[in-house]
Amino acid sequence: MVKAGDVIAVWFSCGAASLIAAKKTIEKYSDIATVRVINNPIQEEHPDNRRFLKDSEKWLGVEIEIAVNSKYPAASCVEVWEKRKFMSGPRGAICTVELKKAARQEWESNNHSDWIVLGFTADEKIRSDRFKLTERDNLISVLIDENITKADCFRMIKEAGLKLPAIYDMGYPNANCIGCVKATSPTYWNHVREQHPEEFRKRAEQSRQLGAKLVRVKNKRIYLDELDPSAKGSPLKNMDFECGIFCEER
């Protein structure tokens, strides 16, 4: 139970669910606890994410703090991949480890918090439970407690008159980086090729240099530059590889 004087750290990813999680946490606990909202900026995200962050600050009525891994002050996935000579694998992406998880842990080493809030929705109870078991048991599942789904989060944001990050309007399923290396679907990667051809080219070149076969076609991993432009997999709306400090919890 949250007690008077506690500090709650809400991790905001510029996504719909994390914004509603922050809103609900402030509504429910700010009268007795200090609620701090923190963001890990990522260079490869769509620049409109920063506009959404500023709009979110006004709606929440709090300043959203910034936390980065001091080893990577530019918060660039491309830099992480180059330095670590690795992009992603079955256990997740190294950019998430360095720019999300390590950045959070560094912030926590310098700032006290009693509780943590992440954007787990009612659709993600299994992931939330696994996070509590494997990493942190002081998680407040504010969205799950109120049975709020990801679709509910989109609806609530629109009802509040806020404009979602532009990346959603471009057909992407979340507010991740453009060309998220956790994705393996040919549908996703061909969508990137169509919407952001330069980013697709950069991912294809770097993944080839590092030996990272990012896309799966008929259960076989291939390089992006081998992907047929007409290849399709699952529809984008059914995909789930949202990036956050909890994305390793599958």
Lowest mean pLDDT among 100-114, 123-137, 178-192, 228-242: 228-242
Phi-psi category of residue 5: left, alpha or beta, with phi > 0 → left and psi -120 to 50 → alpha: left
Domain 7-165: CATH architecture, name and number where available: 3-Layer(aba) Sandwich (3.40)
Indicate if the pLDDT at residue 131 is higher than 50.
yes
Domain ranges of the chain: 7-165
191-216 in b/e form (b: 16+ CB < 10 A) is: bbbeebeeebebbbebbeeeebbbbe
pLDDT per position as a tens digit, 19-52: 999 999 999 999 999 999 999 999 999 999 999 9
Distance of CA 167 to the CA centre of its chain: 13
* Reported pTM: 0.89
Indicate if the pLDDT at residue 239 is higher than 70.
no
Residue 242: the pLDDT is 52
Indicate if the pLDDT at residue 175 is higher than 60.
yes
Q: What is the chain's length? A: 250
Neighbours of 73 (CB within 10 A): 9
Indicate if the pLDDT at residue 14 is higher than 90.
yes
